[in-house]
Amino acid sequence: MDLDMSVMNGRQATKELRDMHVDSLIVGMTSCEKEEEEKLFMNAGLDYLL
């Protein structure tokens, strides 16, 4: 899952998957080094961030 995508961002997509009870591992990928972004991504239900 990339943080920046054209239709919705990775946080939104991750949250929607978790809201649909998808229990697969979700791995995020981003070049953004902001700790705040990482926290928001993880709070959306992300399992790992690269």
Is-contact 5 13, C-beta < 8 A?
Answer: yes
Partner residues linked to 25 by β-bridges: none
pLDDT in tens, 1-50: 888 888 898 999 999 999 999 999 999 988 878 888 889 999 999 999 98
Q: What is the CA radius of gyration of the chain?
A: 10
Backbone angles phi, psi at 49, to 5 degrees: -130, 125
pTM over cut 0.95: no
